[in-house]
Amino acid sequence: MHVLVVLAHPESASFNGHLARLAETTLTAAGHTVEISDLYQQEFGAVAGLADFTEPLSTDYFDLQAQQRAAVANRTFAPDVQAEMDKLRRCDLLLFQFPLWWHSVPAILKGWIDRVLAVGFAYGGVKELAGKRALVSLTSGTPEHLWDGVTLPTLESTLSHLLRGTLAFCGMAVYEPFMIGGVKQLSPEQRAQAEVDFVEMLHHLPQRRLIF
């Protein structure tokens, strides 16, 4: 299969950067093909707007969805948006790798969602991503056991906007998310074990539970 890894972390040497590269080497060694969108390295714009279009509709009122529909029809998305759409079209599996920020995704990834998952492409009549698979892989500062539905909401509940509201809404089959918690407190041994768990998870992905 062909995998698109979308990495959202400002530091290439971070644990998230390391996990993205580990995904690439693991999946490539297993016979798959992988491309990485390293959003910070690409200086990907996080704010949807007029600059997303090479030939915006000339109207007094800026309607993002109307602009997106026209740009899908005319292929008039800005090159950075168009490139990400083309990568998405190529992939069988979309893998998000990011640190949990404020119980959500870093703004640069939210911007990627706003700008790339355009109406008329990803949802709204046409769903070009339908049938593809999606895996959300993240790290958090909070230890895993605290996401128990009491102390903190469950992870699936916390990420519902992403898992259900975005990925499943676009018709993708969504795997149970994979989280490495309490990252900053991990001993070298625990971190090594987390990496083993990550690789194992990737090796057994076809058997992983689909939540949507």
Q: Which residues bind ligand FMN (CB under 6 A)?
A: 9, 14-16, 99-103, 139-142, 183-184
- Quote the least distance from Cβ 83 to ligand FMN, whole Å: 25
Nearer to ligand FMN, 48 or 155 (CB): 155
- Quote the least distance from Cβ 3 to ligand FMN, whole Å: 20
- Quote the least distance from Cβ 18 to ligand FMN, whole Å: 8
Nearer to ligand FMN, 183 or 194 (CB): 183
The amino acid at 160: S
Question: What CA–CA distance (Å, rounded) separates 180 from 186?
Answer: 10
Decide: 39 and 32 in contact? Cβ < 8 Å.
no
DSSP-assigned letter for residue 146: G
DSSP 3-state assignment of 210? strand
- Quote the least distance from Cβ 187 to ligand FMN, whole Å: 14
The amino acid at 24: E
Nearer to ligand FMN, 19 or 202 (CB): 19
Query: Residues 54, 116, 173, CA angle at the centre, nearest 5°?
Result: 155
155, two tokens:
């992870």
- Quote the least distance from Cβ 16 to ligand FMN, whole Å: 4
Computed on alpha carbons and rounded to an integer, the radius of gyration of the chain in Å comes to 18
181, two tokens:
């918690």
Nearer to ligand FMN, 18 or 32 (CB): 18
Nearer to ligand FMN, 119 or 152 (CB): 152
DSSP-assigned letter for residue 96: E
